[in-house]
């Protein structure tokens, strides 16, 4: 039996009449098992009903039943469905066209006439009527109104005083009645186009606590507690006209149409007036029909249960038969499998043992490879670090010799050649170290927010001298005055240095090199976003097309015999590409043999692409001293200038300053000693433990310490020294071959005051030493001038030293009236030996302990003179001076003004 799908587009399901229609359809479907009903609810919205019909068409319906919300708006869509060959049944309401298959509904015009006749009967040919119409634009409302008017117009003394749409809903009837009462409208009868609006009007009137003195006629005549029949029984309505839903007929008619049976296009439903005379009979008949519907539904449910039970039993019978067949098959297969089980088990056991053996072998090979790799990496790292020490002993003396003015041109040329190649070796070592870290996936960014324009301009300027020597046109082009970007300075410096070095290397004299920076959009691997583009462009020898695709591969050198550009290590461009990848950027190249090469570097703007742990926030803090030293280094031109600067520094002290060198390599130790010996007194130790033994005997003014040493390394030595209150004030310069950003931070976090990577030259070392000592001099000068004010400037002492001085000040102020309070008492109260207290205060402030105590008292006295209003004699005794005269002399020596003059100046300032 073929199945048919019926679509039912209902204008609303909100009222009882519409629900009754749907219930009748569903009951009738019991007799048509081949029909499937799909319903939609437009909620009194014509636009939604049109959309619902389109959706029903998408469901491939075979027939459409529609109750139009409004005639005119629904006409086009109904015509469209009809012209597609799909039968259309209109129920209750018509459209403005004859393009439909059939119509089911009562004759609304006739219902209006019957209502008019009954109204004339109630009013006895004379009265005023309030009409509550249905939805404007719907055919039932229009026809019921016209029929009613045609009937009452025969009686001139019957008038309609108000006619307004209640849109078929209870609130609409309520609203119209409210308005009529507010207007004091006089009427004898209410004619409502359905029972819902009639009930709304009745409830609105009753709410005013008025006695009903007019007639109410409704339309629908539905059973149930909220239907028109019950309203007549309750004497709320005087009459209602039966308006059949046509739900049962719609399903029956649909079955006839789909099964090609004869049918009528127009199917009028009969109506009747229900009033107090026949209401009980109609109610009994309705209840009988409802009971019959329930019995039918119950029978249908029982039938469905029986059918389901039949299908279930049929299913399980089939399953049982299939199971029996499967059991027979499985028994036979099991018997066969049992015979082969022993052979299969033996084969499986052999394979298992072989797999276990192979896994163990692979595991051992993997462990051996891992151990070999780690050993290789450790050796690689250690040997690269060790290269830096001899390079220090090559470059350092070379720098000193080249700086000498007593060299012949030929000798100077050879020495400069040695210096260039030593620096080239250093760069290769640095590249190998970077390559090892990248291979071991330990390299990460140390990015900060910097001005890329200023940064690139600085790199460009370092090649200016070379461009002048080669008579080249060397340009820096950008329309940007400033562009902030998150990047790693060290890595971007290496990228650009490598690209510019290649450009100068492979561009002949009188050539052209240009650096261009601009903002652009770039397609990275995952997205298109804002980027900064750096272009390094030259008109050199170029690169052949066959090599461009592999130019960034590690160790790729092309054809050594024919391609000059590949006569290198094959590391630089691969490292540059790796550094760019760490920034999640991009590096591309364009080149043509004999015409030149352009490298394009792209960095993403913003910081969203950089991990939080890759952003450096302490660059300014830890690198402050280094930047001061670098600026001083650049301004000093030769060794003579250094000697003058260091001699001036040395003359500022009462005795020669002492520097302790802690270095395990005797050659490096000797080189450093030779650099310092003309200016400073030098002590030496080969490890941290020896250094502490020396410090216990004689405290140095500064310590230069290597990091990698036996017994006690430099980091452990610095951490221990900086945590010891007795000696934490001694400045420390860490000297090491471990030169990465992370290692530098690690060293500075132990408390080191400066960090020097190997190799280094004597000029740089002397500046670092002198700069640190100058900073200490500034600190001493501050505390000599005012012990009560903390040093808040750039040259601050450590937290431990600051706490020590504050503690001493508090102890002295606590004992300020004690004229005998001196070094012994302060040492006991502080908890250090007399020697250590003397050394520490002398080193930090440049004062002896007795001077420190005296100056603390004088500073306190100055505060009292300015604020207390006490006499000079009272203040002298209160601050621990033996007599006012001694106090006045000490005060004048310190402040260059007598206490009385100080007092007068303070009074005039306050006045």
pLDDT in tens, 176-210: 999 999 999 999 999 999 999 999 999 999 988 77
Q: Report d(CA 396, CA 418) in Å as an integer.
A: 12
SS3 content of the chain, % helix, strand, coil (to 5): 55, 15, 30
Give the domains, in start order, of the chain with CATH numbers.
Answer: 4-103 (3.40.50.2300), 108-242+270-279 (3.40.50.2300), 447-615 (3.30.565.10), 620-785 (3.40.50.2300), 799-910 (1.10.10.60)
Residues whose CB falls within 8 Å of the CB of residue 325, separated by 6 or more in sequence, listed in order: none
pLDDT at 112: 94
Stretch 728-752: mean pLDDT, rounded?
A: 74
- The pair phi, psi for residue 157, each rounded to 5°, is -90, 5
Structure-model confidence comparison of residues 264 and 640, the more confident one: 264
Q: Do you find a cis peptide bond into 716, omega within 30 degrees of 0?
A: no
Asked if residue 753 lies in contact with residue 795, where contact means CB atoms within 8 angstroms, the answer is no
Q: State the pLDDT at residue 380.
A: 65
Residue 796 pLDDT level (bands cut at 50, 70, 90): low
Give the integer Cα–Cα distance in Å for 529 and 602: 11
How many helices (H) and strands (E) the chain has is answered by 31, 24
Question: Mean pLDDT across the stretch 77-104?
Answer: 92
Whole-angstrom distance, CA of residue 874 vs CA of residue 862: 13
* Residues 518-537, mean pLDDT to the nearest whole number: 91
pLDDT for 623: 46
H/E element, 218:
strand 215-220
Residue 808 confidence (pLDDT) above 70: yes
Q: Is 93 or 160 the better-scoring residue by pLDDT?
A: 160
Q: pLDDT at position 559, please?
A: 47
* 570 conformational bin, left if phi > 0, alpha if psi -120 to 50, beta if neither: left
The SS3 of residue 48 is: helix
Tens digits of residue pLDDT in 393-425: 777 777 777 776 677 788 877 777 777 777 777
| pLDDT at residue 428 in the model | 72
pLDDT greater at residue 494 or residue 394? 494
Among 307-321, 524-538, 850-864, the minimum mean pLDDT is found in 850-864
User: pLDDT > 70: what percent of the chain?
Assistant: 86
Per-residue confidence (pLDDT) for residue 782, from 0 to 100: 62
45 vs 439: CA distance, rounded Å: 70
What is the pLDDT, as a whole number, of residue 739?
59
Which has more pLDDT, 297 or 794?
Answer: 297
DSSP conformation letters of 782-820? HHHH-SSS---SSSPPPHHHHHHHHHHHHHHHHTTT-TT
| 739, HSE (Cβ side, Cα atoms, 13 Å) | 20
Counted residue by residue, the chain has a size of 911
3-state secondary structure of 406: coil
What is the tens place of the pLDDT at every residue in 305-350?
A: 888 888 888 889 999 999 999 999 999 888 888 888 888 888 888 8
- End-to-end alpha carbon distance in the chain: 116
Burial class (CB in 10 A: 0-12, 13-18, 19+), 730: buried
Q: How far apart are CA 684 and CA 505, in angstroms?
A: 45
Instruction: Of 63, 67, 75, 76, give the one whose Cα is nearest residue 37.
Output: 63
Q: Which residues of 328-355 are buried (b: 16+ CB within 10 A; e: fewer)?
A: eeeeeeeeeeeeeeeeeeeeeeeeeeee
Task: Give the CA distances from residue 95 to residues 51, 61, 90, 102, in Å, rounded to whole numbers and listed in that order.
Answer: 17, 21, 8, 12
Encode pLDDT of 211-243 as tens digits: 788 999 999 888 888 889 999 999 999 999 998
DSSP 880: T
pLDDT attached to residue 293: 73
Does residue 652 surpass a pLDDT of 70?
Answer: no
Q: How confident is the model at residue 788 (pLDDT cuts 50, 70, 90)?
A: very low
């Amino acid at each position: 039996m073929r199945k048919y799908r019926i679509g039912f587009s209902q204008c609303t399901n909100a009222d009882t009449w519409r629900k009754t229609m749907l219930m009748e359809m569903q009951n009738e479907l019991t007799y048509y098992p081949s029909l499937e009903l799909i319903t939609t609810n437009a909620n009194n919205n014509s636009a939604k009903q049109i959309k619902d019909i389109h959706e029903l068409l998408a469901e491939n319906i075979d027939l459409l039943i529609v109750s139009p919300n409004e005639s005119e708006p629904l006409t086009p869509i109904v015509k469209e469905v009809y012209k597609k060959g799909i039968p259309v049944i209109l129920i209750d309401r018509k459209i403005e066209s004859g393009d439909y298959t059939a119509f089911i509904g009562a004759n609304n015009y006739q219902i209006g006439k019957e209502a008019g006749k009954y109204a004339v009967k109630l009013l006895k040919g004379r009265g005023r009527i309030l009409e509550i119409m249905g939805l404007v634009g719907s055919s039932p409302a229009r026809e019921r109104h016209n029929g009613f008017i045609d009937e009452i117009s025969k009686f001139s003394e019957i008038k309609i005083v108000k006619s307004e749409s209640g849109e078929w809903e209870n609130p609409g009837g309520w609203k119209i009645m409210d308005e009529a009462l507010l207007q004091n409208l006089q009427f004898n009868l209410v004619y409502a186009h359905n029972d819902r609006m009639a009930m709304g009007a009745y409830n609105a009137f009753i709410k005013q606590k008025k006695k009903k003195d007019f007639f109410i006629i409704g339309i629908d005549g539905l059973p149930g507690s909220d239907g028109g029949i019950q309203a007549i029984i309750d004497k709320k309505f005087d009459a209602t006209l039966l308006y059949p839903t046509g739900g049962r007929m719609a399903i029956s008619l649909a079955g006839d149409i789909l099964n090609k049976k004869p049918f009528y296009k127009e199917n009028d439903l009969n109506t009747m007036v229900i009033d107090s005379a026949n209401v009980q009979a109609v109610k009994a008949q309705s209840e009988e029909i409802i009971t019959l519907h329930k019995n039918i539904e119950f029978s249908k449910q029982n039938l469905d249960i029986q059918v389901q039970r039949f299908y279930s039993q049929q299913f399980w019978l089939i399953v049982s038969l299939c199971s029996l067949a499967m059991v027979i098959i499985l028994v036979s297969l099991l018997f066969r499998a049992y015979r082969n089980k022993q052979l299969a088990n033996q084969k499986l056991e052999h394979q298992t043992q072989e797999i276990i053996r192979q896994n163990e072998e692979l595991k051992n090979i993997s462990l051996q490879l891992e151990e070999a790799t780690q050993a290789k990496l450790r050796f690689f790292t250690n040997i690269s670090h060790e290269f830096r020490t001899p390079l220090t002993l090559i470059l350092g003396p070379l720098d000193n010799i080249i700086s000498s003015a007593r060299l012949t041109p030929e000798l100077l040329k050879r020495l400069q050649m040695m210096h260039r190649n030593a620096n080239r070796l250093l760069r290769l070592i640095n590249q190998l170290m970077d390559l090892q870290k990248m291979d071991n996936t330990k390299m990460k960014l140390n990015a900060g927010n910097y001005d890329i324009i200023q940064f690139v301009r600085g790199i460009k300027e370092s090649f200016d001298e070379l461009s002048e020597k080669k008579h080249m046109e060397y340009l820096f082009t950008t329309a940007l005055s400033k562009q902030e970007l998150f990047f790693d300075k060290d890595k971007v410096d290496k990228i650009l240095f490598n690209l510019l070095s290649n450009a100068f290397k492979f561009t002949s004299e009188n050539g052209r090199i240009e650096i261009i920076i601009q903002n652009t959009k770039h397609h990275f691997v995952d997205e298109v976003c804002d980027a900064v583009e750096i272009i390094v462009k030259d008109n050199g020898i170029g690169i052949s097309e066959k090599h461009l695709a592999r130019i960034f591969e590690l160790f790729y050198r092309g054809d050594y015999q024919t391609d000059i550009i590949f006569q290198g290590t094959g590391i630089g461009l691969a490292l540059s590409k790796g550094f760019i990848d760490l920034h999640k950027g991009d590096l591309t190249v364009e080149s043509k043999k004999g015409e030149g090469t352009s490298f394009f570097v792209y960095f993403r703007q913003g910081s969203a692409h950089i991990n939080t742990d890759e952003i450096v926030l302490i660059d300014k803090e830890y690198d402050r001293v280094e930047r001061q030293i670098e600026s001083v280094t650049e301004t000093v031109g030769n060794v003579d200038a250094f000697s003058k600067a260091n001699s001036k520094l040395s003359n500022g002290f009462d005795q020669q300053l002492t520097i302790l060198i802690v270095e395990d390599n005797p050659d490096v130790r000797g080189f450093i000693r030779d650099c310092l010996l003309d200016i400073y007194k030098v002590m030496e130790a080969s490890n941290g433990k020896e250094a502490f033994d020396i410090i216990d005997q004689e405290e140095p003014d500064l310590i230069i310490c290597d990091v990698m040493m036996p017994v006690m390394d430099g980091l452990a030595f610095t951490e221990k020294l900086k945590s010891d209150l007795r000696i934490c004030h001694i400045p420390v310069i860490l000297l090491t071959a471990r030169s990465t950003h992370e290692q530098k931070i690690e060293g500075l976090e132990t408390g080191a005051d400066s960090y020097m990577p190997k190799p280094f030259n004597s000029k740089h070392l002397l500046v670092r030493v002198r700069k640190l000592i100058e900073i200490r001099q500034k600190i001493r000068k501050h505390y000599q001038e005012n012990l009560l004010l903390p040093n808040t400037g750039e040259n601050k002492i450590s937290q431990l030293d600051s706490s020590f001085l504050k503690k001493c000040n508090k102890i002295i102020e606590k004992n300020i009236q004690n004229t005998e309070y001196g070094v012994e008492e302060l040492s006991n109260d502080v908890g250090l030996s007399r020697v250590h207290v003397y050394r520490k205060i002398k080193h930090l402030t440049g004062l002896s302990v007795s001077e420190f105590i005296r100056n603390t008292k004088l500073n306190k006295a100055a505060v009292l003179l300015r604020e207390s209003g006490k006499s000079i004699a009272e203040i002298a005794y209160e601050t621990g001076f033996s007599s006012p005269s001694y106090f006045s002399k000490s005060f004048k020596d310190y402040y260059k003004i007598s206490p009385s003059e100080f007092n007068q100046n303070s009074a005039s300032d306050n006045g």
